[in-house]
Amino acid sequence: MNQNIVWNLSPEKCFEIIHLTLIDILEGNRDKTLTLDALIKNLNTRTKVYKLHNEKKYNSFSKYLKEEYDGLLNFIECYNFYDIIYNDKEISIKLYKNLVDLNDIKYSGKRITRDNEWVFIDD
């Protein structure tokens, strides 16, 4: 995670755009499932209208997710309405639309550690 990159959009706005776009992409597919590669490609295609960064090399949401969340998989793992399916040669993402409550999804800030073993519990 790189702390030096300055994005043109707020973290809250990026968070909203990413979720709404992922949900829309997955809803449009049979079984609400898509391979990780296809999902990333669709995410970048649908969100290229946003000027995320002044430098072209950082101007994609897949790059944003890599820098801020250490990748799309780490971002998706935080939400119970997405499922990561590991097949022999590919990874797929499934949406459980019945679990999605857009009013309940709130930006909680990015992870403060790279360690996937840490668990934070709010009192």
Q: What is the pLDDT of residue 111?
A: 43
Does the reported pTM lie above 0.85?
A: no
**Position 107 in a domain:** no
- Both ends of the chain: CA-CA distance in Å? 27
**What's the mean pLDDT in 6-21?**
90
pLDDT of residue 39: 95
Q: 118 in a domain, yes or no?
A: no
State whether residue 63 is helix, strand or coil.
Answer: helix
In a domain, 122, yes or no: no
pLDDT digits (tens, 9 = 90+) for 18-41: 999 999 999 998 899 999 999 999
The dihedral over CA atoms of 69, 73, 75, 76, expressed in degrees to the nearest 10, equals: 180
Closest CA to 46 of 30, 27, 74: 27
Task: Give the count of domains, the chain.
Answer: 1
Instruction: Read off the pLDDT of residues 76-100 as tens digits, 9 standing for 90 and up.
Output: 988 888 899 999 889 999 998 777 7
Full residue range of the structural domain in which residue 31 is found = 11-97
Establish if 52 belongs to a structural domain. Answer: yes
In-domain check, residue 33? yes
Does residue 6 form part of some domain? no
User: In Å, how far from its chain's centre is CA 92?
Assistant: 14
